[in-house]
Amino acid sequence: MGELVDVVVVGGGAAGLMACLELPAGLRVLLLSKERAPRSASRWAQGGIAAVTRPEDSFASHIADTLKAGADLCDRAAVELLVRQAPACVERLLQLGMDFDRQDGGLSTTLEAAHSHRRVLHAQDRTGGALVDALEREVLRRPGLERRLDAVALQLWMEEGRCCGLQVLEQGRVHWIGARAVVLASGGGGHLFANTTNPAQASGDGVAMAWRAGAAIRDLEFVQFHPTALMLPGAPHFLISEAVRGEGARLVEPDGSSPVAQLAGGDLAPRDAVSRALVRRMRELRLSHVGLDLRPVGRARLEQQFPTILGRCRELGLEPLEGPIPVAPAAHYWMGGIRTDLAAATSLSGLYAVGEVASTGVHGANRLASNSLMECLVFARQLRQIELGAPPRTVSPQPRTEPDGANPAAVLTSPDPEELQRRIQQLRQRCWQVAGVERLAAPLADGLRRIRRERCAMEATPALQRVLASPPEVELSLNEAAQRWLSAAQELSQRLAVAELLLESALFRQESRGGHYRVDAPAAQPFWQRHSLQQRGRRISTEPIGAG
């Protein structure tokens, strides 16, 4: 038989792992990760998981905080689902052995930006890593589940408007996997920007695949820029969790004054406001960074609560107990994504999306801190009611292997993989320059024209076309050079598609709201209180709140 499973889950972070746990029992599930070792943005998450667990807190308060942070663009039904399901998800994690911080015999909670109560649960400052570890232990015990690493999803398999599998590059071969449903849990696209807290695989490829297949994409202009990423030349932009500011850390300029003193909420104002304030002060003072002084938190609390941050700083030659550390804004989280409903279903039959790749309506124009890991868990639980379709009709009993002369390896031309990687880095710089913290119409329009031309040219590359046009009954065998080329070419092609969607939506929304700030339209406008909507072959448009 050609390969056929019940459900393919793409992505090995918190969303993908939780999806595997929550899918109905008895199914054959295939979990694909494009990394050689399990590594995801979830693992990097230092912040916590938001849930109402204290008697002085309430669902109403958590809902109100989320709606306020979302700048009037949240879908209330999605927010209510998240908030009301969150405590049950915490219980589920405790059953799975999640090691949350505790205090006085109960769960310890912290305060983060724009929360009105202490409701954020932590596992020191590596909550994401602890969560993924707990989920992974359980996932690997699930009967009927197979996990494959170093498997690159190339495109979705569509038959008569229904998603029924996908094309994959793995172990030197390009082949098709049939499925009764596909769940995209491939993460966000923060690595589209030169300055980002995200790992390299956060390139938006799930959004690109879904868009190419015809799915509705929503609100891609809303990117959350985290104000405090470590800024050392040559070092990754390691995130410094705002939980340290919740415990007393302070942003400082070289003379010791505060760059956020004018903001309501100061150091704990919403992330978008803090990021804009820092970018402006850095521009005025001609600085590449400002300082974050951790010393007000106190040595004992820092050592106990933030050992990962302290350890990472010390590895890089910084001593946070002696003076401020260098920080600046960086792309952190994408509020937009593939439009989904309350069942995590996309606009395409047979295709589901969970986690940062999805636009559930929870985050609106600006995510409330620590709602994202919980969103992964809550919407993965909705997959208990997944609707499975029939398997694809064109699954071949035995895939036919193409002879070498018909393989992409035989028609490989320039650019070589190194050149493709240089173009990826240039694209990242362009996205940061024109679609970063502050945006302006003319650079967005110029960037959009250039990126659209480059995407069309890349998609016309003969070797890439040859792979993507390969029918389901054909398997391509690639040598090592061809695999390297295809991986790089596909990554650039996907990144160009997502960058085009990003710039188009940022140019389209002529107002400022949440994570989207237009210098030439600095106020929010009532008539823009709608989602942006993009589908291949259609003009960008809007839809009302709650319509997804």
C-beta of residue 489 within 8 angstroms of C-beta of residue 204: no
Give the phi and the psi of residue 61 in degrees, each rounded to 5. -70, -45
The CA distance from 454 to 460, in Å, is 10
DSSP for residue 177: E
The H or E element containing residue 328 is strand 325-334
The H or E element containing residue 251 is strand 250-252
DSSP result, 53-76? -STT--HHHHHHHHHHHTTT---H
Q: 10 Å Cβ neighbour count for 440?
A: 16
The CA distance from 79 to 360, in Å, is 9
Which one of the listed residues 271, 367, 455, 509 is annotated catalytic?
Answer: 271
C-beta of residue 40 within 8 angstroms of C-beta of residue 132: yes
* H helix runs in 192-266, sequence order: 205-213, 243-246
Of 99, 96, 164, 145, the closest CA to residue 126 belongs to 99
The CA distance from 109 to 101, in Å, is 8
- Residue 397: partners with Cβ closer than 8 Å, 6 or more residues away: 1, 2
Alpha-carbon torsion, ordered 119, 123, 128, 133, to 10 deg: -130
DSSP result, 100-161? --EETTEE-EE--TT-SS--EE-STT-HHHHHHHHHHHHHTT-TTEEEESS-EEEEEEEETT
- Residue 538: partners with Cβ closer than 8 Å, 6 or more residues away: none
Q: 10 Å Cβ neighbour count for 274?
A: 26
C-beta of residue 14 within 8 angstroms of C-beta of residue 377: yes
Q: 10 Å Cβ neighbour count for 358?
A: 29
The CA distance from 467 to 543, in Å, is 36
3-state secondary structure of 429: helix
- For residue 256, give the amino acid letter: G
417-435 vs 480-508: helix axis angle to the nearest 10? Answer: 10
Longest C-alpha distance within the chain, in Å? 72
Rounded alpha-carbon distances, angstroms, from residue 8 to 187, 299, 474, 475: 15, 47, 20, 19
Residue 271 bears catalytic tag: yes
**Residues involved in catalysis:** 271
